[in-house]
Chains A and B, each alone.
Chain A
Amino acid sequence: MENQTVGASVRKRRIRKEITAWLMAVWPLVGFCLFGFIPLVLSVYLSFTKLTSFDFSAAKFIWLDNYIELFTDPDFYLAITNTLIYALSMPITLVLGLIIAVLLHTGLPGSKFFRSVFFIPYVCSIVAVSAMWKWMLNTDFGIVNGFIRALGGEGIPWLTEAGWYRVSLLIIIIWSGMGFNIILFQAALANVNKSYYEAADLDGANAFQKFFSLTLPAISPTTFYLVIMGFIGCLQVYTPMQVMANPAPFGPDNAGLTIVFYLVYSLRDGLVTRGMGLASAIAWILAAAIIIITIFNFKISRKWVHYDE
C-alpha cells in the first residue's frame, strides 16, 4: 500500500520532469512547425494552383499546368543553365580552399594573420561586396581592367558581355565563399592524427603520396560536409545577381537569370501574370534537384568518406 503511493508520487515527479524537459527543448521545433512545416505543406498544394493575388481562397487548382508552363518556357531553361554555371563556384571554392588551407597548415610564421585576412569576406555584406566588384570590374575605369591594360592587355567587357558577366559573378561568389572553406579545411587538417604521417615517413612516402593517401581520406568528413552544404547553398545564390543586374532585370542577355532569381521575380514583379502557384512550382523543381543531388552525395559518400573511430 505504502509502496504504491511512493511509486505514484515518483511517477508523478517523473512526468513533471518530462514535461519541464519538453517545455525547455521544444521551442525550435515549434518554430519550425509554424514557419517551416506549414509553409512546406502549403507550397506543395500551391504549386498545383493558379493564384495571382494574396487571397488564398482565390487559388484555383490546375493540376500540373504550372510545371508544364515552366518546362515550355525557354527562359526557364536559361535559368537552369545559368544556375548550373554558377554552381561551378562550389567545386572551385572547394579545391582552392583546400589548397590555401594546406599552405596555411605548413605553420609558417604569420599563418594566423593570413587566416584572419582570408576569413574577412565572410562577414561582409554581399550587397556591399557586389557593389565593390561592380566598381572594380567596370570596363572603362575599373581597376581590374586598368591592371590588364598596364600589363599591355586589352580591357575585358566584364559586365556588359554575357559570357564575361557570368565569369564576374563566379568571381564574386568564389571570393566571398572561400574563407569558410579555408577555415573548415584548416581545422580538419589540424585534427589529422600525426602518428599516421610518422608511419608513412618510415615507409618512405613522398609528400604527394602522403597527401593523397593519408590527408585526403582523413579530412573526407569535412570535405563531405562542405560538398553537401555547398551544393545546397550555391544553387540558391541570389543577391549578387540582383545587385549586378544591369541592364535590368537580369543583366546582359539575361546572363544573371537563375532559378531563384526567376522565382523572386515571379513573386515580386510578375505576381499578376505568373502567380504564387508558379513560384511554388519553381521552388519545388529546384528543391527536387537539391534533394536528388544530396541523396546521391550521401550514397556515393560511402565510397570516399572515411569516418575515424
Chain B
Amino acid sequence: MNEQTSQARISRMKRILSDAGVYIVLIVYALIILVPFYVILVTSVKTNLEASNPDFSWIPQNGISFDGYKKALDMNPIVGKGILTGFLNTLWINLPPTLVGLFMSSMSAFTLAKIRFRGASVILMVMLLTMMIPSIITLTPSYLIYSELNWVGTPLPLIVPGLFGSGACLFFMRQYFAGLPTELVEAAKVDGLGDFKIFVLIGLPLSVPALISQLLIIFIGRYNDYLGPLLYLTGTDFYTLQLALWNNLGAYINDWPAIMAGCVVGLSPLLIIYLCTQKYFIKGITISSGIKG
C-alpha cells in the first residue's frame, strides 16, 4: 500500500518534470522568435546615439525618439522615393495577379475535381510536374524574353504570368473541391446550370475559407518577393516595398533606428494580417501539402 503511493508519487513527479522540460524548450524557442522583434521595435525608437552604444538597453534610456521613423518614411536620399510609395506600389502590382490568378486556379481546380472531361489527367500531371521545376532555370531566358518584349523596367513581368494561376494553388483548391459532396454539383446540373455558373454560384461560395487561405499565402509570397522586383524593376518608378527596405539599408548605413523603423513599417501589415487570420493560414498550409488537418 505504502509502496504503491510512493510509486504513484514518483510517476507524478516524473510527469511534472517532463512537462516542465517541455515548457522550458518551448519558451526558449518562443523567445528566440520574439526577442528579435522586440529588439527591432525598441531600436527603432531609440536615438542613433543610443543605438550605437555597445551596451544594449532593453528600454530606451533617452526617451522615445521618432527620428528613425521620420527618416524611414521620408524620401530615401539616394532613390528619391519613400517607403510608403514602395508599399503602394507593392499593393497595386500584386493585388491583381493575386486575385485573378486565384480565380483562374480555382476555376481550373473545380473543373478538374468535379467535371469529367477528356484530358483532365493530362492537365493535372503536367501541372504537378511544373511544381518540381526549380524556378531558377527559367530566370535567364525569362529575363531575355521580357526584355525583347520591352517589359523590363515595368511591373509587367511581375503581373502577367501570375494572372494565369499556379500549380500550387491549383492543387490546393482541387484538394478542397474534391472534399465537397458531388450531389451539390449534380443537383445544380439538374436545375439546368452550366458548368461555369455552377463554379461561380456553388463552387466559389462553398470554398470561401480555402480561398482566403490561398489568397493570404499567394499575397504574402508576392509581398515579400525580392528577387523579382530586383531584376525587373530597374528604374525607381515602380519601386516596391522590399526594394525600399533594401535601399534604406544602403542609404542609412549605421543609422540603425532608421533601418529598423523601416523594417517595423514593412513587417507590420503582414504581421497584423497574420495575427487576425492565422486559423486560415495554418489550415491552408497543411491542406496544400496533402495532409488533412
- A residues with CB within 8 A of B: 17-18, 20-22, 24-32, 34-36, 38-40, 42-43, 46, 51, 54, 56, 99-100, 103-104, 106, 108, 110-111, 114-121, 123-128, 131-136, 140-141, 143, 146, 175, 180, 183-184, 187-188, 190-191, 221-222, 225, 232, 235-236, 238-239, 242-243, 260, 263-264, 267-268, 276, 279-280, 283-284, 286-287, 290, 294
Q: Give 5 CB contacts A-B under 8 Å.
A: A120-B274, A124-B224, A128-B245, A140-B54, A187-B292
Contact size class for B? Answer: 35 or more
Inter-subunit contact B123/A26 (CB<8 Å): yes
Most buried by A among B119, B147, B263: B263
**How many Å from the CB of A101 to the closest CB on chain B?**
11
**How many Å from the CB of B274 to the closest CB on chain A?**
4
Partner of A127, one of B32, B166, B245: B245
Given contacts A31-B163, A243-B246, 18 further A-B contacts (CB under 8 A): A25-B107, A29-B123, A32-B164, A38-B145, A46-B141, A123-B273, A127-B242, A128-B263, A175-B33, A183-B285, A187-B292, A236-B135, A267-B139, A267-B140, A268-B230, A284-B137, A286-B134, A294-B132
> Does B226 sit within 8 A of A, measured CB to CB?
yes
When A141-B54, A225-B290 are in contact, do A54 and B140 touch as well, CB less than 8 Å?
Answer: no
Inter-subunit contact B104/A280 (CB<8 Å): no
Inter-subunit contact A25/B123 (CB<8 Å): yes
* Chain B residues whose C-beta falls within 8 Å of the C-beta of A54 in the assembled complex: 144, 147-148, 152
Partner of B51, one of A25, A133, A141: A141
Assembly CA distance A134 to B252 (angstroms):
14
A-B contact count (CB 8 A): 279
**How many Å from the CB of A256 to the closest CB on chain B?**
15
Inter-subunit contact A28/B167 (CB<8 Å): yes
How does the 8 Å CB contact mask read for B28-49 relative to A, with 1 for contact and 0 for none? 0110111111011001000000
**How many Å from the CB of A284 to the closest CB on chain B?**
7
* Chain B residues whose C-beta falls within 8 Å of the C-beta of A115 in the assembled complex: 282
* Chain A residues whose C-beta falls within 8 Å of the C-beta of B245 in the assembled complex: 125, 127-128, 131
* Chain B residues whose C-beta falls within 8 Å of the C-beta of A175 in the assembled complex: 32-33
Assembly CA distance A134 to B115 (angstroms):
52
Inter-subunit contact A125/B147 (CB<8 Å): no
**How many Å from the CB of B62 to the closest CB on chain A?**
16
Inter-subunit contact A123/B259 (CB<8 Å): no
Inter-subunit contact A283/B148 (CB<8 Å): no
> Does B105 sit within 8 A of A, measured CB to CB?
yes
Partner of B33, one of A121, A141, A146, A221: A121
Inter-subunit contact A20/B195 (CB<8 Å): yes
Inter-subunit contact B126/A104 (CB<8 Å): no
* Chain A residues whose C-beta falls within 8 Å of the C-beta of B132 in the assembled complex: 232, 294
* Chain B residues whose C-beta falls within 8 Å of the C-beta of A136 in the assembled complex: 36, 39
Inter-subunit contact B108/A24 (CB<8 Å): yes
* Chain B residues whose C-beta falls within 8 Å of the C-beta of A120 in the assembled complex: 33-34, 37, 271, 274
Assembly CA distance A260 to B141 (angstroms):
15
Partner of A106, one of B22, B147, B161: B22
Assembly CA distance A124 to B264 (angstroms):
11
Inter-subunit contact A24/B39 (CB<8 Å): no
When A103-B26, A123-B220, A126-B226 are in contact, do A36 and B133 touch as well, CB less than 8 Å?
Answer: yes
**How many Å from the CB of B14 to the closest CB on chain A?**
11
Q: Considering the complex of A and B, which 6 residue pairs feature the smallest CB-CB distances, nearest first? A: A31-B164, A187-B293, A21-B117, A39-B141, A42-B141, A39-B138
Most buried by A among B56, B160, B273: B56
Inter-subunit contact A184/B126 (CB<8 Å): no
**How many Å from the CB of B67 to the closest CB on chain A?**
16
**How many Å from the CB of B149 to the closest CB on chain A?**
11
Inter-subunit contact A24/B110 (CB<8 Å): yes
* Chain B residues whose C-beta falls within 8 Å of the C-beta of A40 in the assembled complex: 133, 137-138, 141
* Chain A residues whose C-beta falls within 8 Å of the C-beta of B183 in the assembled complex: none
**How many Å from the CB of A134 to the closest CB on chain B?**
8
Inter-subunit contact A36/B130 (CB<8 Å): yes
Assembly CA distance A54 to B149 (angstroms):
11
Assembly CA distance A99 to B22 (angstroms):
10
* Chain A residues whose C-beta falls within 8 Å of the C-beta of B104 in the assembled complex: 27-28, 31
When A30-B164, A124-B267, A127-B242 are in contact, do A287 and B119 touch as well, CB less than 8 Å?
Answer: no
Inter-subunit contact A18/B118 (CB<8 Å): yes
Inter-subunit contact A283/B140 (CB<8 Å): yes
Which A-chain residue is minimally distant from B162 (CB atoms)?
Answer: A31
> Does B53 sit within 8 A of A, measured CB to CB?
yes
* Chain B residues whose C-beta falls within 8 Å of the C-beta of A28 in the assembled complex: 104-105, 108, 127, 164-167, 169-170
**How many Å from the CB of A307 to the closest CB on chain B?**
11
**How many Å from the CB of B6 to the closest CB on chain A?**
21
